[in-house]
Chains A and B, each alone.
Chain A
Amino acid sequence: MDAWYWWMILGMAIVTYIPRAIPLTFLEGRELPKPVQNVLRNIPYAVLGALIFPAIFFIQENIWFGVIGATAAFGLAFSGANVMIVVLGSIAVLAGFSLLL
């Protein structure tokens, strides 16, 4: 990959570090407005929703990979499995599927 990759890493490092460092160093004791706090709190869940859909269906050209993979992942997650099992289990299901093809 090219030089842009290293600039991107630098940028990612900076924008990741800033929200971690500012409150601990400069904003001691100050509070953000309540609505802002609430919206920030919503972001992790919203971003996961947007990340999963619709991209999960298009992981391979064959759409069945996405459909079966998504079903396996949600099935495992709803059954209460932890993240590691959800990841490994979904991979195992798709590995079985692609061997059948």
Chain B
Amino acid sequence: MQARDFSAGLKAGTSIAIGYFPIALTFGLLAKTTGLTILEATAMSIFVFAGAAQYISLSLIASGVSPTVIVLNTFIVNIRHFLMTASLNEKMEPDSKWKKALYAFGVTDETFSILATGKGNRIPTAFAAGVILIAYGSWVTFTAVGHRVGASLPLFLQAAMSIALYAMFVGLLVPSMRGNRKVVMLALTAALFNSFFYFTGLLATGWAILVATLASSIFIEIVYARKGKS
């Protein structure tokens, strides 16, 4: 039974593994252009396993932001997983704490979406393990491959690839903006706050992103609460 749940998990996680392929590849490649060694880049994927946060850390490293601020930024970006794991808790089969603590590491936006929408009342732990293992394997493997491939790329292509990170953010943001005015307002307000900090030089990059994110998340929430349709 457990073996069957596990292989069903592997199967369900395959779509994530495929989706991670280009993003992890680009991460490895960008890490190389940022100056990280293959070991450092891969280690980040092994120990952190958080796409957006890892991309952000690269752009912050590139702009010389202090490690403390990068860690703080990572926290702010990933604190949303708190919500996800809180709701996942209702969905997963009850199991020993150490097992839950183990698979908690593998909860990303993508694995969460598979688990949270899974059929049946309770998701077996073995199923979650399968989903997470294949997604994680893809993420780590293709980080290393991306770094390796990056070495042999011509300079004009490496210059063109500096857009990759931002293109990914745009690709993630735009579909959520369709038909959702709140998402548009959130992104716009945060963009304005951050541009203000950038052009006035009031805050360093990492802090500016952090303050802009929190300020707009709270501000828009208040606006929508007033309108009474949050």
Contact = CB atoms under 8 A, between A and B. Distances in A.
Contacts of A5: 36, 40, 67
B186 A54 contact: no
A16 B104 contact: no
Contacts of A27: 86, 89
Contacts of A37: 83
B171 A91 contact: no
Q: Is the interface of B mostly helix, strand, loop or mixed?
A: helix
Contact of A46 (B75, B107, B161, B212): B212
A7 B43 CA distance: 12
Given A25-B100, A53-B194, A45 B40 contact: no
A76 B169 CA distance: 13
Interface in A29-75: 29, 31-32, 35, 37-56, 59-60, 65-66, 69-70, 72-74
Contacts of A82: 171
Nearest to B108: A20
Contacts of B166: 51-52, 55-56, 59, 69-70, 73
A21 B104 contact: yes
A99 B154 CA distance: 11
Contact of B79 (A24, A40, A52): A40
Nearest to A92: B160
B8 interface: no
A43 B49 CA distance: 19
Interface residues on B, range: 35 or more
Interface in B40-54: 40, 43-44, 47-50, 52-53
A47 B100 contact: no
29 contacts: A1-B35, A1-B36, A1-B40, A16-B48, A16-B49, A16-B50, A16-B53, A19-B81, A20-B107, A21-B85, A21-B105, A24-B101, A27-B89, A29-B89, A35-B225, A40-B82, A43-B80, A44-B109, A45-B187, A48-B187, A50-B212, A51-B209, A72-B167, A77-B171, A77-B173, A77-B174, A84-B23, A88-B22, A94-B162
Interface of A: 1, 4-13, 15-17, 19-25, 27-29, 31-32, 35, 37-56, 59-60, 65-66, 69-70, 72-74, 76-78, 80-95, 97-99
